[in-house]
Amino acid sequence: MKAALSYTILVSLCLTNAAPVAAQDYPSRPIRLLVGFSPGGNSDVSARLTAARMSEALGTSIVVDNRAGAAGVVAAQIVARAPADGYTLAWSSQGALVISQIMEKTPPYKTETAFAPIGRTFTFANALIVRPDFPAKTVADVVAIAKQKPGELNYATQGVGSAGHLSGQMFQSVARVKLAHVPYKGGADVITALLGGEVRVGFAATTTAANIRSKIRVLAVTSRERDPSLPDVPSMHEAGLTGYDATFWFGMVAPAGTPAPIIKRLNALLGDVLKDPNLVQTTRRQGLNPVPSSPEELSALMKSELQRWREVIAGR
């Protein structure tokens, strides 16, 4: 009896101490960072810049794995199902963490129970862009065209639930118009479609828009204030859509149940990297504003965003 009791106590102590021991040894092998969009967009670029600096500090590689699809949901689902050991992480955004919970009747995971937040990383905006041969030269022109033929004006985005899609949802809600959504797998695909003539209107990252400005017309940015990468382009609010503000963010999350010491270490390291002057200078030139947060702050943000976007989508 005593032997059995002693064995039970020993097993319990081993299980209790397993997480701290694992955290002390972490990381002992490369870490996989899932990005839910195709290479070349601001999600991919920001993840790679951050992962490279975190890898240096950790002494092991953080390997970026692009799994495009469903505005980041495909990548997030892989992470939600991964072992909670800190070796599979997601670089995610509103689309996968918030909008999927609103748009899908049966989402493949429940954000609040599937993930352990690590921290917010960057905020960014999109830009409303059109082909040079499109007759609209201002936001007001786009609104007028959309009102002439409700539901017929197509607009391209990075996918259902993506920053571009949400920008379009808010555009329709504030302007009181109806547009036709054409989702692609990423920002690069949006530009290819726009330049190729598949669509004439779209939303893209501000830096992407800035880089191809000679080939397109940029009408406005989606943030409340002007974007540093497009300083001469008005915000939607300035352009006449009063109250419009579609500012977006990226965050890093792990599978739920990941040991707290690992989350704490990753959050501290992420915060240090996002405060690095060189990284700040590089990313701001690309329209990405570093905004490190605690895991608790990211959790609270996801909850508030759920309410905010539910109202926008319902009122479209």
User: How confident is the model at residue 38, as a pLDDT?
Assistant: 84
What is the number of structural domains in the chain? Answer: 2
User: How confident is the model at residue 313, as a pLDDT?
Assistant: 84
Residues whose CB is less than 8 angstroms from the CB of residue 57 and which lie 6 or more positions away in sequence, other chains included = 269, 272, 273
User: How confident is the model at residue 25, as a pLDDT?
Assistant: 87
Is 237 a member of any domain?
no
Give strand pairing partners of 127. Answer: 204, 221
Contact by Cβ (8 Å): 117, 187: no
Using one digit for the tens of pLDDT, what is the confidence trace for 164-185?
999 999 999 999 999 999 999 8
Pick the range with the lowest mean pLDDT from 37-46, 96-105, 130-139, 248-257.
37-46
User: How confident is the model at residue 192, as a pLDDT?
Assistant: 94
Interatomic CA distance for residues 193 and 180, integer angstroms: 15
Domain containing residue 43: CATH number: 3.40.190.150
In angstroms, the Cα distances linking 297 to 67, 90, 196, 267, 268 are: 26, 17, 42, 11, 14
Is 177 a member of any domain?
yes
Kindly state whether residues 145 and 114 are assigned to the same domain. no
Kindly state whether residues 62 and 200 are assigned to the same domain. no
Kindly state whether residues 155 and 293 are assigned to the same domain. no
199: closest CA among 219, 169, 179, 172? 179
Which DSSP symbol is given to 245?
Answer: -
Contact by Cβ (8 Å): 90, 79: yes
Is 3 a member of any domain?
no
In angstroms, the Cα distances linking 11 to 16, 49, 177, 259, 261 are: 9, 43, 63, 19, 21
Using one digit for the tens of pLDDT, what is the confidence trace for 66-115?
998 887 999 999 999 999 999 999 999 988 999 999 988 899 999 999 99
Interatomic CA distance for residues 114 and 254, integer angstroms: 9
- Percent of the chain beyond pLDDT 70? 92
User: How confident is the model at residue 1, as a pLDDT?
Assistant: 52
User: How confident is the model at residue 285, as a pLDDT?
Assistant: 83
Kindly state whether residues 135 and 205 are assigned to the same domain. yes
Inform me whether the pLDDT recorded for 7 exceeds 60: no
User: Residue 161 belongs to what domain range?
Assistant: 126-221
Kindly state whether residues 208 and 279 are assigned to the same domain. no
Using one digit for the tens of pLDDT, what is the confidence trace for 215-255?
999 999 999 999 988 999 999 999 999 999 999 999 999 99
Is 120 a member of any domain?
yes
Interatomic CA distance for residues 271 and 229, integer angstroms: 24
Domain containing residue 181: CATH number: 3.40.190.10
User: How confident is the model at residue 299, as a pLDDT?
Assistant: 98
Tokens of 93: 């955004």
Tokens of 301: 């943000």
* Res. 131 pLDDT band, cuts 50 70 90: very high
Is 79 a member of any domain?
yes
Inform me whether the pLDDT recorded for 4 exceeds 80: no
User: How confident is the model at residue 6, as a pLDDT?
Assistant: 53
User: How confident is the model at residue 258, as a pLDDT?
Assistant: 98
User: How confident is the model at residue 20, as a pLDDT?
Assistant: 55
Q: What is the pTM of this model?
A: 0.81
Chain-centre distance of CA 211, in angstroms?
20
Q: What integer is the mean pLDDT of 33-60?
A: 93
Is 231 a member of any domain?
no
Kindly state whether residues 270 and 290 are assigned to the same domain. yes
Kindly state whether residues 116 and 171 are assigned to the same domain. no
Kindly state whether residues 80 and 155 are assigned to the same domain. no
Residues whose CB is less than 8 angstroms from the CB of residue 136 and which lie 6 or more positions away in sequence, other chains included = 130, 142, 144, 145, 201, 219
- Percent of the chain beyond pLDDT 90? 78
The domain boundary, picked from 185, 204, 221, lies at: 221
Is 92 a member of any domain?
yes
Kindly state whether residues 115 and 157 are assigned to the same domain. no
Q: Are strands 126-130 and 62-66 parallel, antiparallel or unpaired?
A: unpaired
Kindly state whether residues 155 and 98 are assigned to the same domain. no
Which DSSP symbol is given to 235?
Answer: B
Tokens of 293: 């947060």
Kindly state whether residues 194 and 214 are assigned to the same domain. yes
241: closest CA among 219, 258, 262, 257? 219
User: How confident is the model at residue 41, as a pLDDT?
Assistant: 78
Tokens of 90: 């997601």
User: How confident is the model at residue 8, as a pLDDT?
Assistant: 52
Inform me whether the pLDDT recorded for 16 exceeds 60: no
Contact by Cβ (8 Å): 127, 221: yes
Is 118 a member of any domain?
yes
Interatomic CA distance for residues 223 and 287, integer angstroms: 11
Kindly state whether residues 37 and 97 are assigned to the same domain. yes
Single-letter code of the amino acid located at 33: L
164: closest CA among 284, 32, 72? 72
Work out the number of other CB atoms within 10 angstroms of the CB of residue 36: 33
68: closest CA among 205, 155, 161? 161
The domain boundary, picked from 173, 206, 221, lies at: 221
- The end-to-end CA distance of the chain, in Å, is 68
